[in-house]
Structure 1
Amino acid sequence: MKLLDIGEVADRSGLPASTLRFYEGKGLIASVGRRGLRRLFELEVLDRLSLIALGRLASFSLDEIGAMLGAEAAPQIDRARLADKADELNQTIQRLTALRNALRHAAECPAPSHMECPTFNRLRQAAVARGRETRPPAKRAASRGSGS
């Protein structure tokens, strides 16, 4: 069984040792012992780290990644969660595409000022509405009653 110390894992994975220790603390990876003060990992930790990197790239939280990977050697990746995340990413892509198109329009708009551009004004209204959606309920209620 090939064992890698934390420095070798850091070199091969491109992650700093502090991240590896953090991942171990969260239960995402596990060391199998120590050589002096240095943690030792099985070679398979690199596969697990590549799955974590893929999950992070897909915007999964570390808790979500941990739930999918489990503590077992072979990860049990939930296909429904992957499909849900793909749908969520598609919605984000659509929202960002619309935003990009609106910003391009505003940059090239022939209106005398941006405030006279209907597309720019719709973009401003959408930004305000989005802010209302993402603000916590308690703050929404407090801001309504504050009279400001």
Structure 2
Amino acid sequence: MTQLDIAEVTHRAGVPASTLRFYEEKGLIAPIGRRGLRRQYDPAVLERLALIALGRTAGFSLDEIARMVVAPDGLPRIDRQMLAARADELDRTIRELGVLRDSLRHAAACPAPSHVECPTFRRLLEAAAAGAVKTPRKTAPRSP
């Protein structure tokens, strides 16, 4: 059976060993053994790490990712409803950011003598004051 040394996994997956150890603690991956002090992994761990990376990029928490990729048979159980909900959330964020971008571009090029005299800028200020202009959603700080 082909095994990958922890150094090979970190190189091929582009993540530090500390991340692999952290993912082990969270139950997202597991070594298949050790050679001396070095962890050994099944090559399938690379696909699991790619799924984790995709989930992190999409803004899912590690707990949400764990629910999707950790199953008794080792096959991912990706929740299609969770994916659709995240896609809907991204659509809303894209729309909100598009409006904000367009407003800022207008304000930057506005011919009004003062931004306070610009009706578009005033609407942006009113929307911000009312909470309609949202700052980009910050994802939870990424653990290693």
Query: Shorter-chain-normalised TM-score: which range?
Result: 0.7 to 0.9
State the aligned residue count.
Answer: 134
Q: Structure 1 residue 36 and structure 2 residue 59: aligned?
A: no
* Structure 1 residue 123, shift from structure 2 partner: 1.9
Unaligned runs of at least 5 residues, structure 2: 136-144
2:23 alignment partner in structure 1: 23
1:86 alignment partner in structure 2: 87
2:116 alignment partner in structure 1: 115
CA RMSD of aligned residues (A): 2.0
Residues 37-86 of structure 1: CA deviation (Å, up to 9, x unaligned): 21111100000011111111111111111111124310110111111111
1:99 alignment partner in structure 2: 100
Determine which structure has greater relative contact order: mean sequence separation of CA pairs < 8 Å that are 6+ residues apart, divided by chain length.
2
> Does the 8 Å contact 2:29/2:48 carry over to 1?
yes
Matches within 5 A, 1:46-61: 46-61=46-61
> Does the 8 Å contact 1:29/1:48 carry over to 2?
yes
Task: Write the letter of the residue equivalent to 2:58.
Answer: A
Q: Counting helix residues as a fraction of each chain, which structure ranks higher?
A: 1
Percent identity of equivalent pairs: 64
User: CA 1:28 to 1:128, structure 2 compared with 1: closer, same or farther past 3 Å?
Assistant: farther
